[in-house]
A = this chain, B = another copy of it.
């Protein structure tokens, strides 16, 4: 059994990006600049945006955060989005979700210029990904694909089962792994709450992506010997064994599944650390015009 060390890979990639930014700086080029819009004072959102700013600093990107109060008008946000679309200094930007109820998240997302949509949530980027055209891939799927690449996990002709059909993980993962590409070319089955014979289906999988959001759902009896197990879940539960009084659980019952798996991602330290790195990679691509020529 080998643990897929997302933390290490994330640090490696940050180091690679930092070197590239240093070279850009040396050559007098434009430093990549990521902006974020955050509304209100949701604790988790604040934390995420804080992590993103810190990551930008680590690799040498410029970063700007635009803060709005909970009662901001939708029009005000849309104006900010339009300004960022037009601002040549900003290479890419994200709108931290969730938004307050009176704001249409979809309207805001669709107002973002797809060329600067480094979260990959705009339907154009999703549609281009489905067709196999260059597109910003959203952070979690992009991070998982990067882990698969860096650990040389074979996907061609493999039976993959994705558990969960969310728009930001399950669906894009199914599409990416079935795509004519490397990694890709797998035979993918997407399971969800209405799947009838889940255990039987998952037992056939060479690679399992657990992304349903239920703590320790995937148990050893559901996993084939030698499978690769990617755990996307993060559930915070109370614990009297940690200083903070909390611990994080994945969708996989790690200890028992690890004994059967060939590769497995831990929680924390697996897929999680990759998400911010994916955002950095997308921002670098944006600044270089790699997805959409400038």
Chain A, 191-214, contact with B by CB distance < 8 Å: what is the 0/1 string? 110111100010000000000000
Chain A, 225-242, contact with B by CB distance < 8 Å: what is the 0/1 string? 000000000000000000
Assess the A128–B132 pair: CB atoms within 8 A.
Answer: no
Assess the A180–B165 pair: CB atoms within 8 A.
Answer: yes
Q: Which residue of B lies closest to A156 (CB)?
A: B194
Within 8 Å of chain B (Cβ to Cβ): is A289?
A: no
Chain A, 155-177, contact with B by CB distance < 8 Å: what is the 0/1 string? 01101000001010001001100
The residue from B122, B132, B157 contacting A127, defined by CB atoms under 8 A apart: B122
A80 → B minimal CB distance (Å) = 22
A181 → B minimal CB distance (Å) = 11
- Chain B neighbourhood of A197, CB < 8 A: 159
- Chain B neighbourhood of A132, CB < 8 A: 167
Within 8 Å of chain B (Cβ to Cβ): is A72?
A: no
Assess the A165–B190 pair: CB atoms within 8 A.
Answer: no
- Chain B neighbourhood of A127, CB < 8 A: 122-128, 130
Inter-chain CA distance A16–B86, complex, in Å, is 47
The residue from B167, B178, B189, B192 contacting A131, defined by CB atoms under 8 A apart: B167
Within 8 Å of chain B (Cβ to Cβ): is A63?
A: no
Best-surrounded residue of A133, A156, A179, A194 (most CB of chain B within 10 A): A194
Within 8 Å of chain B (Cβ to Cβ): is A81?
A: no
Within 8 Å of chain B (Cβ to Cβ): is A152?
A: no
Q: Which residue of B lies closest to A187 (CB)?
A: B195
A157 → B minimal CB distance (Å) = 4
**6 nearest A-B pairs in the assembled complex, by CB-CB distance:** A123-B127, A127-B127, A126-B127, A189-B189, A185-B194, A157-B196
- Please name 8 further chain A to chain B contacts, defined as beta carbons within 8 Å, in addition to the given A123-B128, A187-B191, sorted by A numbering: A127-B130, A157-B194, A174-B178, A174-B190, A178-B190, A187-B190, A187-B195, A188-B190
The 14 listed contacts between A and B (C-beta, < 8 Å) are A123-B123, A123-B125, A123-B126, A123-B127, A123-B131, A124-B127, A126-B130, A126-B131, A131-B167, A180-B192, A187-B190, A187-B191, A187-B201, A189-B189
**Which residues of chain A have a CB within 8 Å of any CB of chain B?**
106, 122-128, 130-133, 156-157, 159, 165, 167, 171, 174-175, 178-180, 185-192, 194-197, 201
